[in-house]
């Protein structure tokens, strides 16, 4: 049988029809954008870091200021002992508190107490006079990161806000080593807008920022938290003294304290120092006494009496009178021996 001529294709014994060929069409050219050098090229440039003034370069202030320098913040510093300020390589040094804060968007204070803060705020060379002279369009924010108590924070905050600056009370929880690593916890009081203005600096210094409410509430939270800490540390030190008097080896006691149900990072982190009886201060007995007094002040404001805090104050006062005030809080165990 003969096959018809046409659009067929022979495949072995069978004949299969062949689909008609479509006219060839040239593929559309697509424009491929040049390859980016990296996805970061597509991101907006980082926001510039605000200029910071830092006043108070004590045990906590110096590592905190150093942390800001390490992260690239423009930094100007002031300290009552000028030689301390000059050792902070990379920071410019203000001749006075007022000179230090010129041009700063965020002003951090880390001073001993409310009186020390008032001293740098006031006077012809103080912070408030300098801010008034500059007449800025954008109000700077003053962030006090020391523990001064709620009453003082509210009173000083009112004066600062009336002068044309913003104020945030942001006492920190943590000691020298967390300060150097940016691992503090800020307990913050202030208006939301003021806190957000301070946020770049707070985030640089702290692993967590807890906004407790309006001005003064950061201090209230810190005083309450320090009350818990005082209970822990005094109980730890007194029981360490009792355990050794009972014939238990110091290393065995510390193993139990730092691995048992009541272990906390504060105990664990100081185990080796405590084993060596090294009481070099990270948070001194004298400061613990000051903070305990602020706790009693807050109790009075709240019409509350907590006898256990007064008992702790009595022991701290005795330890300070025995010459232990500049040592670490754990040195109170010496008082119990």
Residue for token pair 């593929």? 27
Measure the N-to-C terminal CA separation of the chain; round to a whole number of Å.
Answer: 122
C-alpha to C-alpha distance for 280 and 23, rounded to whole angstroms? 90
- Residue 86 annotated in active site: no
C-alpha to C-alpha distance for 55 and 95, rounded to whole angstroms? 11
DSSP string computed for 89-109: TT-EE-SSHHHHTTT-SEEEE
Candidates 222, 245, 305, 334; catalytic one? 222
C-alpha to C-alpha distance for 142 and 159, rounded to whole angstroms? 12
For residue 244, give both structure tokens: 């050794």
CB neighbour burial string for 31-49, b if at least 16 within 10 angstroms, e if fewer? eeeeeeeeeeeeeeeeeeb
Among residues 188, 197, 205, the alpha carbon closest in space to that of 153 is found at 188
Do 127 and 96 meet the contact criterion of CB atoms below 8 Å apart?
A: no
Q: Which residues does residue 78 pair with via DSSP β-bridges, in sequence order?
A: 55
Do 127 and 142 meet the contact criterion of CB atoms below 8 Å apart?
A: yes
Which element (helix H / strand E) includes 36?
A: none
What's the number of CA atoms in the CB half-sphere (13 Å) around residue 151?
A: 11
Q: What is the DSSP letter of 135?
A: -
Among residues 121, 306, 171, the alpha carbon closest in space to that of 228 is found at 306
Diameter of the chain measured on Cα atoms? 126
State the catalytic residues: 222
């Amino acid at each position: 049988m003969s096959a018809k001529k046409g659009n067929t294709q022979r495949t072995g014994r069978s004949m299969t029809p062949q689909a008609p060929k479509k006219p060839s069409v040239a593929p559309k050219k697509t424009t491929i954008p040049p390859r980016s050098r990296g996805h970061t090229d597509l991101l907006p440039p980082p926001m510039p870091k605000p200029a910071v003034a830092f006043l108070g370069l004590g045990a906590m202030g110096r590592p905190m200021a150093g942390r800001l320098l390490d992260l690239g913040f423009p930094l100007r510093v002031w300290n009552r002992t000028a030689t301390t300020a000059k050792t902070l390589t990379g920071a410019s040094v203000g001749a006075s508190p007022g000179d230090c804060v010129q041009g700063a968007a965020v002003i951090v204070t880390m001073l001993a107490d409310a009186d020390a803060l008032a001293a740098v705020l006031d006077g012809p060379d103080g912070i408030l006079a300098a801010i008034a002279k500059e007449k800025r369009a954008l109000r700077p924010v003053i962030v006090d990161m020391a523990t001064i108590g709620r009453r003082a924070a509210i009173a000083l905050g009112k004066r600062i806000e009336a002068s044309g600056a913003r104020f945030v009370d942001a006492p920190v929880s943590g000691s020298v080593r967390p300060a150097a690593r940016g691992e503090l916890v800020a307990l913050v009081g202030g208006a939301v807008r003021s806190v957000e203005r301070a946020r770049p600096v707070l985030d640089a210094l702290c692993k967590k920022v807890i906004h407790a409410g309006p001005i003064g509430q950061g201090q209230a939270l810190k005083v309450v938290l320090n009350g818990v800490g005082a209970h822990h540390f005094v109980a730890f030190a007194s029981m360490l003294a009792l355990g050794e008097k009972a014939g238990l080896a110091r290393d065995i006691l510390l193993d139990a304290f730092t691995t048992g149900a009541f272990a906390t990072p504060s105990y664990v982190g100081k185990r080796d120092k405590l084993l060596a009886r090294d009481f070099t201060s990270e948070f001194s007995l004298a400061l613990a006494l000051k903070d305990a007094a602020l706790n009693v002040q807050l109790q009075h404001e709240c019409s509350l009496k907590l006898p256990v805090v007064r008992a702790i104050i009595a022991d701290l006062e005795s330890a300070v009178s025995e010459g232990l005030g500049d040592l670490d809080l754990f040195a109170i165990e010496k008082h119990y021996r």
